[in-house]
Amino acid sequence: MSEAETEGKTAHPIELFFDLVYVFGFTRVVGFIVHDHNLTSALQGALILGLLWWSWGTWTWSMNAVDLSNRVRRVLILIAMIAIFVMGYSIPTAFDEGAMWLAGGYAVSRLLAGVVMWFGTLDDAVEHESIRRYLPVSLISPILVIIGAAVGGSGLVWIWVVALTIEVAAAILSGSSEWHVDAEHFAERHGLIMIIALGEAIIAVGVALTAAAGDDVGPSVEVVWRLGVGIIGVAAMWWAYFDKLQAFGSGAFTKPTQ
């Protein structure tokens, strides 16, 4: 990116609401990996997580570039949430009968993100030109994801890997374009989804322990020990991101003052 702007944009409430469906998807990926607990499921889970994360990242770019006070854009975002929710729900069967549901959710999400980008930047000729270069290449990926779901089997995996590679290539190819980036907004968005995800992790620990011990059983030394380990684990992940990485991300694209 050859140009960056910091305009003091902050996360809109709809962005926080929007993130919840992705966090649901992230928890489904964890469940998918834990269910079989082998290298194959770990690699397949990583591939699904890559598609989820790229979809979220595309929407973060879109919301960074456009004015979210526009009600039509909010409606499109809410519609995209349905597609992403379906995508997340289908994760346990993503390499079987749920493949097309996941692929369809991904494609609809990516298409709507492109629509929001395209029409939301019409009044910014420089940004719009950058998006015009980016979208044609990036939209190849959702088509390949659908083709992969239709093919199935080992072909599905390889086609989805190619699709995700094309997504990354599209971003690299458009990197030389002029983008008006609010870096602090990006850092805030990543921080917020991390907080939501970590909150889900805490809830998962508490629910799992409650289910194991029973609702009518009070704390014990063992339960307190397990709760403490759970909190320490989540706190370590919080510290790893918020101690250094968030501040680095906030300044990564910001021009130094003259």
pLDDT for the residue 126: 81
How large is the greatest C-alpha to C-alpha distance in the chain, in angstroms? 63
Which of 186, 163, 174 minimizes the C-alpha distance to 62? 186
Annotated domain spans of the chain: 13-181, 189-251
Rg (alpha carbons) of the chain, rounded to whole number: 20
What are the backbone dihedrals phi and psi of residue 9, each rounded to the nearest 5 degrees, phi first?
-70, 140
Q: How far apart are the first and last CA of the chain?
A: 19
Please give the Cα distance from 190 to 16 (Å, whole number).
11
92: DSSP letter: G
Residue type, 36: D
Chain position carrying tokens 């918020």: 242
Please say whether the beta carbons of 124 and 132 come within 8 A. no
pLDDT value of position 258: 42
Q: 147 — phi, psi (to 5°)?
A: -60, -45
Total-model pTM? 0.81
Identify the pLDDT of residue 106.
96
DSSP symbols for 224-237: HHHHHHHHHHHHHH
The long-range contacts involving 192-198, CB below 8 angstroms and separated by at least 24 positions, are 192/11, 192/15, 192/16, 192/19, 193/19, 193/22, 193/23, 193/56, 194/238, 194/241, 194/242, 195/238, 196/16, 196/19, 196/20, 196/23, 197/23, 197/26, 198/234, 198/237, 198/238
Cβ proximity of 154 and 148 under 8 Å: no
Helices (H), 66-179: 71-89, 99-120, 125-138, 140-151, 153-173
**pLDDT the model gives residue 47:** 94
* pLDDT tens by residue, 51-72: 999 999 899 988 988 989 899 9
CA dist., res. 233 & res. 228, Å (int)? 9
Look at residues 75, 84, 74 and name the one whose alpha carbon lies nearest to residue 24.
84
Cβ–Cβ < 8 Å for 25, 197: no
pLDDT along the chain (258 residues), means of 10: 52 91 89 81 92 92 89 95 95 93 96 92 84 84 95 93 89 68 81 87 79 71 85 87 68 48
Q: Would you state the pLDDT for residue 175?
A: 61
Are the C-beta atoms of residues 142 and 106 closer than 8 Å to each other?
A: yes
User: Cα angle at 160 between 46 and 107, to 5 degrees?
Assistant: 105
